[in-house]
Chain A
């Protein structure tokens, strides 16, 4: 990434400027596993497209919108600043959501699909009765999302309670509640499953649980509810 910047003097100049002004831009995070490592639950083809094309596009457009916003703010151009909000919410949300998503997944041989022990497992049983019941609820809500969106298992850090919630498009979870912290998010945009599952979103939802990384979810939960 740095090498590419050096090669393009113009980019370097702009980056330098932004560093001076303190504008932080973003880059694509690496996955902790190979694209094919989540098969057969999610195909390598989907993982590669999802990561290298979709997530990257959100990042590229988010950076662009941030630059434009930075300019507009510096110039005192309020109407441009306001006009950019939807692009920021959409692309920034896309970056935030997908960054969480990659951490929510793990190959089976690295613990993917293994239910949480410890405090999160206990909280799930307490609140939902059992893991099966939680999964059934999340699958139902995920299948019912009209168009594009996400289904989340979250913890309300104020109330110390588990919550199942959905968001539309790339709205981050906080748009549904400022105290909601995402534990597990499942992308139900068609791009997340179409090449493999076509229109049968419920099959995708049934299968993704085999590669859900409960270790990460447990860590986040333990931090919010020590």
Chain B
């Protein structure tokens, strides 16, 4: 099915666009994955995803998140994901890839491959530790606050939606604040007239290991709502955990700098698209070029019926 759409594009300027590159890359990737056999070469450097520590001591978030929780959550759960991921990818094509590339490759457009759960959970937990800080909470400011007011009505509006998403994630999962760049939920869609209005802050929730990178959103903030994240401190009281996170732990500075970075990335991509479009326009066949199809002697093709 993919091949059909590729052949139909072979005679068009599509070949030079990033879309084709991405499409062919993903085709290559999926072909490689099917041949994903363990090649154990002696002397290979073993898989190298690191267990990154939180940017603060394990007891630094007390009393809102206990040292015991951090010791298990980071020291056992997060460490387990890292170790298991490294074991899974060692000697395969995924080895030596960046974590985000492993996530994208193993998400496999929804047809999830075995490395995904571990890879995504490693990423999610790193992102989670960095979303918090000792003495966190308070309110965001600057451009982040402006966008929050624009997209949620008010800071309280955001808090309400975030809490609702966190409490209604049935089972294990994550709650996110993301920056959404596309108007449509179709990653390859191109907005012919992109405007700042299309880009929104959105609250989303995801199950188990899934994260918004796979939906091509730009994550800004996350809260782990797997039970292991709060059970030692709050038992079944997820609502209290969510409130404590928002009031005492969240680092709005980090969220702001992630928003900055996301906007820069989006702007870069839009510039790239513009340049590609400009080249595309140059390749458009002009009416005078019909000579190349019909030859200089149009009479050669005259009707012979007399």
> Chain A interface (Cβ within 8 Å of chain B)?
49, 53-54, 57, 86, 90, 146-149, 168-170, 189-191, 194-195, 198-199
Binds A, one of B8-16, B167-175, B257-265: B167-175
Sample of 20 further A-B pairs with CB below 8 A, known A194-B228, A194-B231: A49-B236, A146-B209, A147-B171, A147-B172, A147-B173, A148-B171, A148-B227, A170-B170, A189-B171, A190-B172, A190-B231, A191-B231, A191-B236, A194-B227, A195-B231, A195-B232, A195-B235, A199-B72, A199-B76, A199-B228
* Range class of the B interface residue count: 10 to 19
Which residues on the B side are within 8 Å of A147 (C-beta)? Answer: 171-173, 207-209, 226
The answer to whether A199 touches B171 (Cβ under 8 A) is no
Which residues on the A side are within 8 Å of B172 (C-beta)? Answer: 147-148, 190
A126 to B90, CA, bound (A): 40
Sample (5) of A-B pairs whose CB atoms are under 8 Å apart: A147-B226, A194-B231, A194-B232, A198-B76, A199-B228
The answer to whether A191 touches B227 (Cβ under 8 A) is yes
Which residues on the A side are within 8 Å of B231 (C-beta)? Answer: 190-191, 194-195
Tell which of B72, B173, B231 has the most Cβ of chain A within 10 Å. Answer: B231
Question: Can you name the residue of chain A whose Cβ is closest to the Cβ of B116?
Answer: A146
The answer to whether B228 touches A86 (Cβ under 8 A) is no
Question: Can you name the residue of chain A whose Cβ is closest to the Cβ of B72?
Answer: A198
Interchain nearest-CB distance for B152 vs A (Å): 22
Of B80, B170, B209, B227, which contacts A190 at CB under 8 A? B227
Interchain nearest-CB distance for B232 vs A (Å): 7
Question: Can you name the residue of chain A whose Cβ is closest to the Cβ of B68?
Answer: A198
Which residues on the B side are within 8 Å of A86 (C-beta)? Answer: 170
The answer to whether B72 touches A189 (Cβ under 8 A) is no
The answer to whether B173 touches A57 (Cβ under 8 A) is no
A195 to B68, CA, bound (A): 12
Question: Can you name the residue of chain A whose Cβ is closest to the Cβ of B228?
Answer: A190
Which residues on the B side are within 8 Å of A168 (C-beta)? Answer: 171
A148 to B207, CA, bound (A): 10
Interchain nearest-CB distance for A80 vs B (Å): 16
A146 to B210, CA, bound (A): 11
Which residues on the B side are within 8 Å of A90 (C-beta)? Answer: 170
A173 to B236, CA, bound (A): 24
The answer to whether A169 touches B170 (Cβ under 8 A) is yes
Say yes or no for B183: interface residue by CB 8 A criterion: no
A89 to B80, CA, bound (A): 32
Say yes or no for B77: interface residue by CB 8 A criterion: yes
Which residues on the B side are within 8 Å of A190 (C-beta)? Answer: 172, 226-228, 231
Question: Can you name the residue of chain B whose Cβ is closest to the Cβ of A191?
Answer: B227
Interchain nearest-CB distance for B10 vs A (Å): 40
Say yes or no for B149: interface residue by CB 8 A criterion: no
Which residues on the A side are within 8 Å of B72 (C-beta)? Answer: 198-199
Which residues on the A side are within 8 Å of B227 (C-beta)? Answer: 148, 189-191, 194
Within 8 A of A (CB), among B61-111: 72, 76-77, 80
The 8 closest A-B pairs by CB, nearest first: A147-B172, A190-B227, A169-B171, A147-B208, A148-B171, A53-B236, A199-B76, A90-B170
A190 to B235, CA, bound (A): 11
Interchain nearest-CB distance for B126 vs A (Å): 18
A149 to B170, CA, bound (A): 11
Interchain nearest-CB distance for A44 vs B (Å): 14
Which residues on the A side are within 8 Å of B48 (C-beta)? Answer: none
Which residues on the B side are within 8 Å of A195 (C-beta)? Answer: 231-232, 235
Which residues on the A side are within 8 Å of B170 (C-beta)? Answer: 86, 90, 169-170
Tell which of A57, A90, A148 has the most Cβ of chain B within 10 Å. Answer: A148
Interchain nearest-CB distance for B226 vs A (Å): 7
Say yes or no for B117: interface residue by CB 8 A criterion: yes
Interchain nearest-CB distance for B260 vs A (Å): 33
